[in-house]
Amino acid sequence: MRNRSMIEFNNISKIFPGAKVLKEVSFDIKKGEVHALIGENGAGKSTLLNILHGMYTEYEGDIFLDGQKVNFKNPHNAIEFGIAKVHQEISLVPELTVGQNIVLGYEPRKGQFIDFDKLYNQSDKILKRLCCKFRSNDIVSTLSIGEMQMTAIAKALFHNARVISFDEPTASLSGSEVNTLFEIIRDLKNNGTTIIYVTHRLEEVFQIADRVTVLKDGKHITTNNVSNITREHLIKNMIGRDICAFAVRNRPRRFEDKVVLDVRNLSVTPYFKNVSFKLRRGEILGFFGLLGSKRTDVVRAIFGADKKNSGEIFINGKKKEIFSPEEGLKNGIGLIPEDRKTQGFVKNLTNADNIGLSCLKKFVYFGFLNHNEKKKNCEYFMEKLNLTPKDPMYFTEQLSGGNQQKVVLAKWLSSKVDIIIFDEPTKGIDVGTKQEIYRLLEDLAEEGKSIIMVSSELLEIIGMSDRIIIMNEGRIVKTLNYTEFSEEKILQFAMEGG
Partner 1 sequence: MDGKKKKKNIKIIREFGIIVAILLIAIIFTLIDPLYVTPYNIISIIEQSTINGLMGIGITFAILAAGIDLSIGSTFAIIIVCVGKLLVSGINPILAIIIGIGLGFAVGIGNGLLICKMNIQPFVATLGTMSLYRGIAYILTGGWPVLNIPKNFRSMVDGDILYNIPVSIFILLLFAFLTHILLKYTRFGIYIYALGGNEEATRLSGVSVDRVKILAYGIVGIGAALAGIVMLARLGTGEPSAGQGYELNAIAAAAIGGASLAGGKGSIIGTFLGAILLSALKVGLIVVGVDTFWQYIATGIIIILAVYIEYVQSKLYSKSLTVRYQE
Candidate list 38, 47, 208, 414; residue touching partner 1; CB under 8 A: 47
**CA 269 and chain centroid, separation:** 24
Residue 350: exposure state from Cβ atoms within 10 A (0-12, 13-18, ≥19): buried
φ, ψ of residue 339 in degrees (nearest 5): -105, 100
Candidate list 5, 10, 343, 435; residue touching partner 1; CB under 8 A: 343
Of 358 and 455, the one with the shorter C-beta distance to partner 1 is 358
Which secondary structure element, helix H or strand E, spans residue 34, and what is its range? strand 34-38
Beta bridge partners of 70: 63
Q: Per CB under 8 A, does 18 bind partner 1?
A: yes
Candidate list 34, 185, 243, 399; residue touching partner 1; CB under 8 A: 399
Candidate list 368, 432, 483, 488; residue touching partner 1; CB under 8 A: 368
**CA 286 and chain centroid, separation:** 17
Q: Per CB under 8 A, does 330 bind partner 1?
A: yes
Candidate list 110, 186, 233, 347; residue touching partner 1; CB under 8 A: 347
Separation in Å, CA 263 to CA 68, 267, 273, 422: 62, 10, 12, 17
Q: Where are the alpha helices (DSSP H) in 38-191?
A: 45-52, 75-80, 98-103, 116-129, 145-158, 175-190
What number of chain residues touch partner 1 (CB under 8 A)?
53
Q: Cβ of residue 305: shortest distance to partner 1, in angstroms?
A: 6
Q: Cβ of residue 65: shortest distance to partner 1, in angstroms?
A: 24
Q: Cβ of residue 169: shortest distance to partner 1, in angstroms?
A: 17
The dihedral through the CA atoms of 344, 347, 349, 352 has a sign that is: positive
Torsion angle in degrees (nearest 10) through CA of 460, 462, 467, 473: 80
Interface segment toward partner 1; rule CB under 8 A; list 42-50, 89-97, 237-245, 314-322? 42-50
- Is the Cβ–Cβ distance between 7 and 162 less than 8 Å? no
Q: Where are the alpha helices (DSSP H) in 322-400?
A: 325-330, 351-356, 371-384
**CA 36 and chain centroid, separation:** 18
Interface segment toward partner 1; rule CB under 8 A; list 74-82, 145-153, 287-295, 349-357? 349-357
Q: Per CB under 8 A, does 44 bind partner 1?
A: yes
Candidate list 386, 398, 481, 486; residue touching partner 1; CB under 8 A: 398
Of 50 and 137, the one with the shorter C-beta distance to partner 1 is 50
Cis geometry, peptide bond prior to residue 270 (ω within 30 degrees of 0) = yes
DSSP SS3 for 355: helix
SS (H, E, C) 262-299: EEEEEEECCCEEEEEEEEECCCEEEEECCCCCCHHHHH
Q: Per CB under 8 A, does 42 bind partner 1?
A: yes
- Is the Cβ–Cβ distance between 411 and 340 less than 8 Å? no
Candidate list 337, 425, 463, 474; residue touching partner 1; CB under 8 A: 337
Of 112 and 342, the one with the shorter C-beta distance to partner 1 is 342
Q: Per CB under 8 A, does 239 bind partner 1?
A: no
Q: Cβ of residue 400: shortest distance to partner 1, in angstroms?
A: 6
The strand order across the sheet containing 284-288 reads 333-336, 419-423, 450-454, 284-288, 467-472, 475-481
Of 32 and 344, the one with the shorter C-beta distance to partner 1 is 344
Q: Per CB under 8 A, does 45 bind partner 1?
A: yes
From residue 408 to residue 437, the character string flagging contacts with partner 1 as x (rule: CB under 8 A) and all else as - is ---x---x------------x---------
Q: Cβ of residue 256: shortest distance to partner 1, in angstroms?
A: 26
Q: Cβ of residue 146: shortest distance to partner 1, in angstroms?
A: 24
Q: Per CB under 8 A, does 43 bind partner 1?
A: yes
Beta bridge partners of 228: none
Of 246 and 395, the one with the shorter C-beta distance to partner 1 is 395
Residues within window 279-318 making contact with partner 1, judged by CB under 8 A: 303, 305
Q: Per CB under 8 A, does 361 bind partner 1?
A: yes
Interface residues with partner 1 (CB under 8 A) are 16-19, 21, 41-47, 303, 305, 324-326, 328-330, 335, 337, 342-350, 353, 356-358, 360-361, 364, 367-369, 371, 391, 393-395, 398-401, 411, 415, 428
